[in-house]
Structure 1
Amino acid sequence: MSLQTNSMTQSPLVCLRELNKEYGKFTAVDHINLDIKKGEFLTFLGSSGSGKSTTLSMIAGFETPTSGEILLNDASLIHIPSHKRGIGMVFQHYSLFPHMTVRDNIGFPLDIRKVAKDERDQKVDEILKLVQLEAFADRRPSMLSGGQKQRVAIARALVYEPEILLMDEPLGALDKKLREELQDELRLLHKRLGITIVYVTHDQDEAMRLSERIAIFKEGEIVGLGTGKDLYRKPPNAFVASFLGNSNFLKVSVTGSASAMLNKQHIEVENVHEVPIDQKAVLMIRPENLHILTPEQAEKEPLMAGFNQLSGTVNESVFLGESLTCSITIPSGEKVVSKNIATEQPDLAPGSTVFIRWNSKLSSLYSKWEQSDINKNAA
């Protein structure tokens, strides 16, 4: 297998145009548009039923779109059967042939393509080395661990050098430690091969750990697209803010381009937002961006420009080793959660009064307040 430097270009490898999939009256994928770059690791992230796996299945050719277009290198895939698309596929369930050795399982895609034996054996040997399975080449799947079986499945999908590799929850059946180990291996494998990978998961941490870009799905639509860092730091909407990481959400009224009213108190907000003045909105602050001070600390440390301060009452604080989380009720009756480095956090007894500070630039303002957008992942 030829190795190459992983370099993304501006020209997309795969284009989805107004892609739509309906099952009777149910819309699984709702007219999405997406460009997948050559050589990138793109993850489809979403809860069950969000449309991510259905989209992947349409790219693979296992599902036929109701309408829309799928282009690979500017050529339509709509009428091309799955086995002629040159796309590799790895599932959560390994689907290995139990009567075949590891070597023969990996070589099977080359056998059905009638690759000459010498070339076939060379390619299998190269991919065995790549996934570190040379010592297991003559074993059968029943003699392998779950992680080894998944390596065989990945090797089988890569051996005929597809242009794109699709992976649908491939590590979902593994335990946490092994899953994290294979995530690291996958990331390094992608860097070595430069292959385009589209990966489906419902696991936020897995998406952040693996991906160069993440597409967040909700009810058949892509509601967030970008790097994990960008989506986390500046979520495009309240749903993405709540789905990717933990968040505090506070109801405010916008009073100016960079100001709002929170429970009769004026606060500063980031001035990059689309909320009209005099409209109600939701302010999002990540727990790690809330800094807690005792009254004595607040008195000694003047409030800097661009920062906000609220008083609050401690409900509880939980020591988590490297960090300390604290639940606090503010004067509006709303609860917020902070997360700070344990060594920098004062001991906070339940019922004690504290002050909360945050940098207005590290918060986000959204025009819509919909409870459905603030899911269980919110702090």
Structure 2
Amino acid sequence: MSLQSQNTTSTHSPLVCLQALNKEYGNFTAVDHINLNIRKGEFLTFLGSSGSGKSTTLSMIAGFETPTSGEILLNDQSLVNTPSHKRGIGMVFQHYSLFPHMSVRDNIGFPLDIRKLPKEERNKKVDDILKLVQLESFADRRPSMLSGGQKQRVAIARALVYEPDILLMDEPLGALDKKLREDLQDELRLLHKRLGITIIYVTHDQDEAMRLSERIAIFKEGQIVGLGTGKDLYREPPNAFVASFLGSSNFLKVKVSGPNSAVINNQVISLNANHDVPYNQQALLMIRPENIRIVDEQQAKLSPVQSDENEIIGTVNESVFLGESLTCSVTTGDGTVVMSKTIATDLPEIQPDSKVFIRWKVQHSSIYSKWERSDIEKDAK
């Protein structure tokens, strides 16, 4: 089953359904006929590099952009002709867009004011959300008196106060420093668990996507090329692009020789049986750095290669101590550089230019058609 058809398969009716959603600007296709189901109450992240189509897709859901073609359904009702302010959708941007002349309380209450909520009900909702985002003591301050993290919490509270069906967030933490960004990621994750609201989040930060999301949709050139939990996408990437984009990867050039085997540098190695690469075709074998074990010649004699392991020979370039881990760079016989990452106490002292054995378990590798190498090289530039 194709990725696109998998996207539209669900045992329950989705909250949001994107059907062949397409957005063109002249001759440029920003979003290319994507299909996606978004479940009620889930935290879904759109992850991709700049220009991949993730923010344009979010803008079409919000109603700020009109699709060239395709459909956006909310609870099975079309949103395409519904104005943004009538969609019941909250929005948080990277730039807080707070009113500088208003207090925190009035900034948060503004969406309720334009909806003409009775004063007593309005004040109760504002008080409740101030408590939820832990800003009660800042209620009478103006935005100029707040830190960046506090301003973003105000923006989130303002988007939540009128109880929208969905909260859309476009790079909301991008302007914050690393420590504050991580703190707010934790707060946002806990907030989602408490409220059970549907959140669609846009970021280019892989770590942020992994830390926050229940599912991740990886965008490339206007299409969704990977969809699933962070764990599944990392451990079993559906293609070489996802493998290279999400985390660090090693790619070895091999030639598939059978259902369970391939050849690298005239040496036969074992493959998982579930690959679909044709026999006698060049391909890429992907192994994560943490799944590679570097063994020196003395260790190799004491610990022979296991039946579920592969082994090839290489020459050490360097090893770098990073506190909790050691990375080791090794060049294989065909000139490919392989990186390993190991807990520091587990790796022996290995000198540059020494001969070593590169080992990995068969189940810890994935294989992809060789043509996808061009995607990896282009993305790295």
- The interval holding the TM-score normalised by the smaller chain is over 0.9
1:152 aligns to 2:154 (yes or no): yes
| Residue 106 of structure 2 is aligned to residue 104 of structure 1 | yes
Structure-1 residue corresponding to 2:349: 347
Tell me how far apart the structure 1 counterparts of residues 55 and 374 of structure 2 sit (CA, whole Å). Answer: 22
Q: Given the alignment of the two structures, is residue 130 of structure 1 paired with residue 132 of structure 2, yes or no?
A: yes
How far has the Cα of 1:9 moved from its partner? Answer: 8.2
Q: Map Cα deviations across residues 4-24 of structure 1 (whole Å, 9 max, x no partner).
A: xxxx98321000000000000
1:232 is matched by which residue type in structure 2? Y
Match of 1:305 among 283, 298, 307: 307
Q: Distance in 1 between matches of 2:195 and 2:374?
A: 41
Tell me which residue corresponds to 2:84: 82
Partner of 2:49: 47
Query: In the alignment, is the contact (CA less than 8 A) between 1:246 and 1:377 conserved in 2?
Result: no
- CA separation in 2, counterparts of 1:301 and 1:241? 30
Kindly state the Cα deviation for residue 200 of structure 1 after the two structures are TM-superposed. Answer: 0.1
- Residue of structure 2 aligned with 1:195, choices 197, 201, 206: 197
Q: Distance in 1 between matches of 2:341 and 2:377?
A: 19
Q: CA RMSD in A?
A: 1.2
Q: What pairs up with 1:245-256 in 2 under 5 angstroms?
A: 245-256=247-258
In structure 1, the residue matched to 2:5 is: none
Distance 1:350 1:376, change over 3 A: farther
Counterpart residue number, 2:23: 21
2:237 equivalent in structure 1: 235
Q: Partners in 2 of 1:373 and 1:134 — Cα distance? A: 49
Shift of 1:321: 0.4
Partner of 1:174 in structure 2? 176
Deviations 1:279-338 (A, max 9, x none): 111100000000011111111112111210111110011000000000001111111000
Matched to 1:186, the amino acid is: L
What residue in structure 1 maps to residue 293 of structure 2? 291
| One-letter amino acid of the structure 2 residue matched with residue 113 of structure 1 | R
Superposed displacement of residue 373, structure 1: 2.0
Match of 1:5 in 2: none
Q: Does 1:34 align with 2:43?
A: no
Cα distance in 2 for residues equivalent to 1:72 and 1:185:
27
- Confirm or deny: 8 A CA contact 2:240 2:373 kept in the other structure: no
Paired position in structure 1 for 2:273: 271
Cα deviation, residue 349, structure 1: 1.0
> What runs of 5+ residues in structure 2 fail to find an aligned partner?
1-9
Contact between 1:13 and 1:73, CA under 8 Å: does it hold in 2? Answer: yes
Can you list the C-alpha shifts for 1:191-241, whole angstroms capped at 9, x where unaligned? 000000000000000000000000000000000000000000000000000
CA deviation map 1:86-117 (0-9, x unaligned): 00000000000000000000000000001110
Could you state the TM-score of these two structures normalised by the residue count of structure 2?
0.96
> Aligned partners of 1:338 and 1:196: how far apart in 2?
38
Counterpart of 1:333, as a letter, is G
TM-superposed CA distance for 1:376, in Å, is 8.3
What amino acid sits opposite 1:342 in the alignment?
A: A
Partner of 1:370: helix, strand, or coil?
Answer: helix
Q: Is the 8 A contact 1:329 1:336 kept in 2?
A: yes
* Amino acid across the alignment from 2:73: L
Corresponding residue SS for 1:12: coil
Identify which range, 161-170 or 297-306, moves more after superposition: 297-306
Larger deviation, residues 203-212 vs 348-357: 348-357
Give yes or no for the alignment of 1:314 onto 2:316. yes
CA–CA separation in structure 2 for the residues paired with 1:206 and 1:53:
16
* Secondary structure class of the residue paired with 2:340: strand
Secondary structure in 1 aligned to 2:55? helix
- Aligned pair 1:118/2:123, yes or no? no
Corresponding residue number in structure 2 for 1:142: 144
Q: How does 1:198-217 map to 2 (within 5 A)?
A: 198-217=200-219
What CA distance in whole angstroms lies between the structure 2 residues aligned with 1:355 and 1:287? 14
Output the amino acid matched with 1:225: L
Q: Distance in 2 between matches of 1:372 and 1:191?
A: 40
Query: Aligned equivalents of 2:245 and 2:67: distance in 1?
Result: 27
* Identity in percent: 78
Gaps of 5+ in 1: 1-7
State the Cα distance separating 1:375 from its structure 2 match. 4.8
